[in-house]
Structure 1
């Protein structure tokens, strides 16, 4: 239930109601159909978000509602993706935050994805009007803009003795914390982390690195940060910053070290502790156990609505002429 979990109560985040999501879905569907999508697949959820979004649309014959019995767990998003893949879907719009997008990307890296923000800590999804997001998805799904024009995103591969996992934005090494907790991170729990994107205008872990050495989705590296625990003696090279770990929750932090991490190079996080991937605390490391982390550019292809719409306009895809209009701009005279 992205948009309504306890993280929003513990912080000061806005709620995203079922009605809000219903309107988002309506605008996405209309945008996609207007720009070339022939058929839209939606999961017929128990909250009637999808059904309510399309039941009064004149073009609802181009929408298929897929019945699914939810378990109210991460597996629901994976099941929905696989059902849609089996029905021939290739382009996906995901509503949620970093964690929701991670679940989908982990299930298949061979999809084209447009993540749209409704979650709590949002770095990976775009904050853009849903009508425009739908239009961009329609241009790609119809082939008017080839999916190959959408770059693959960076991911963090995680290997432990017990298996494999991945993250899209950050892997955080926490101490004195609990598996599955949905509470916001606190400075007492943060030991170290690695991010694929260090964005100073973000919320959560990404801006900690972003305040120090910005790194965006196009850069061929990530950033590793080690923090000092409260009570540790300060050194002359330590850096003090204050960042929003959740919406409205600012924490003072002391940074011990910051280093770039090139794509393909490996980091090792030693236990004990918990690893959180894109905000979700999932891996317990016992004392003596370790995890190997590697940043790769091997995630799903990601549709950037701004770039897709700009390319379509520049190439004449959005006009009846099929060619861009060239305008001679007047030169200024001295």
Structure 2
């Protein structure tokens, strides 16, 4: 039986303002295409695999289909193209019904769009964005191989995949109730406008809730990671409230944007169970998800919490370890 692997390549990933104002990496179309070609090559590690590629405004998907390796059935997903995050969501919804695994090339925003619709299909995420917490910096060939091994059932999902959490906020505002969801981080910001979307000044962060925390991560999950460690495969998350360093009982040092280390005042923080809320009140501000400002609010009471129904993520190292232990790569 042939296994289907979906491929999402976001041509817009890795191009926001942080590459100009800080040390964020840049990923152009050439790099994305070369990485995607490596993904297709890596799928040859297993037999009987076909590929469905998301179409996009930059025609990266079409070129990948045209130049696909011999013997690898590769076709373009028949879906509408808008040049927005809806493309990734629409493709993920189709893959949830038609694919056995999905490979995503993009940053936190692209993976958030996929996570909203991917359901129980295992996701292999390759970092090609600007400021990434969720996706992995991994060779495309290795990523493609992992997707093929999971999709074909050459390795068991048990022990090689896990359910990643998400974060959600419900804001009761002057204009009604609004709900917003993020994959790794949700921030409450003392800013009036969405503007350039990227969070460039940590002093504007009132607080936040994250589904994962580690000090090597950048942004809100790195701030929380300076307080405690919450691994991606662990349920729940961390909530924190910040303030001026001289007025707070604690401070934390964190990498807040690429190339910037800040010391921030911490009013309070705590580990949160799944669906346990942390409340914020803001006369006017902005809510961010996964490092991007998304929703302007005023006269708002906000309840932010970690939630459990995130994407199924492939642990690439665990996949190869299990395959090797079972002799998959050996031939007698």
TM-score, normalising length: structure 2: 0.86
1:18 CA drift (Å): 0.6
CA–CA separation in structure 1 for the residues paired with 2:22 and 2:192: 18
State the partner residue of 2:247.
234
Change (3 A) 1:65 1:182: same
CA contact (8 A) 2:238 2:271 kept: yes
Structure 1 stretch displaced more, 274-283 or 161-170: 161-170
CA contact (8 A) 1:54 1:60 kept: no
CA RMSD of aligned residues (A): 2.2
State the partner residue of 2:322.
311
CA contact (8 A) 1:36 1:139 kept: no
Encode CA deviations 1:289-318: one digit per residue, 9 max, x unaligned. Answer: 323223233212100111111111112233
Which of 107, 123, 137 does residue 147 from structure 2 map onto?
137
CA contact (8 A) 1:11 1:184 kept: no
Change (3 A) 1:226 1:42: same
Which of 14, 19, 24 does residue 35 from structure 2 map onto?
24
Q: SS of the counterpart of 1:134?
A: helix
Q: How does 1:314-329 map to 2 (within 5 A)?
A: 314-320=325-331
CA contact (8 A) 1:226 1:258 kept: yes
Encode CA deviations 1:209-256: one digit per residue, 9 max, x unaligned. Answer: 2122122113333211211147xx435x23252x32221123332222
Q: SS of the counterpart of 1:30?
A: helix
- 1:248 equivalent to 2:259? Answer yes
- Consecutive unaligned residues of structure 1, counting only runs of 5 or more, are 322-334
Encode CA deviations 1:20-39: one digit per residue, 9 max, x unaligned. Answer: 01111011111123224521
Encode CA deviations 1:38-90: one digit per residue, 9 max, x unaligned. Answer: 2111123332323333534442651112355532222121122234445x123
CA contact (8 A) 1:191 1:226 kept: yes
Change (3 A) 1:262 1:44: closer
State the partner residue of 1:264.
275
After the TM superposition, which segments of 4 or more aligned residues of structure 1 sit over 6 Å from their partners? none
Encode CA deviations 1:153-181: one digit per residue, 9 max, x unaligned. Answer: 11113334534332121111001242253
CA–CA separation in structure 1 for the residues paired with 2:226 and 2:150: 34
Change (3 A) 1:58 1:188: closer
Which structure's CA Rg is the greater one? 1
Q: SS of the counterpart of 1:39?
A: strand
CA–CA separation in structure 1 for the residues paired with 2:312 and 2:251: 36
- 1:275 equivalent to 2:287? Answer yes
CA contact (8 A) 2:26 2:129 kept: no
Change (3 A) 1:46 1:265: closer
CA contact (8 A) 2:212 2:221 kept: yes
State the partner residue of 1:285.
297
State the partner residue of 2:86.
75
Q: How does 1:42-81 map to 2 (within 5 A)?
A: 42-59=53-70, 61-66=72-77, 68-81=79-92
Structure 1 stretch displaced more, 201-210 or 139-148: 139-148
State the partner residue of 2:311.
300
Change (3 A) 1:222 1:178: same
CA contact (8 A) 2:255 2:262 kept: yes
CA contact (8 A) 1:37 1:141 kept: no
State the partner residue of 2:109.
99
CA contact (8 A) 2:57 2:82 kept: no
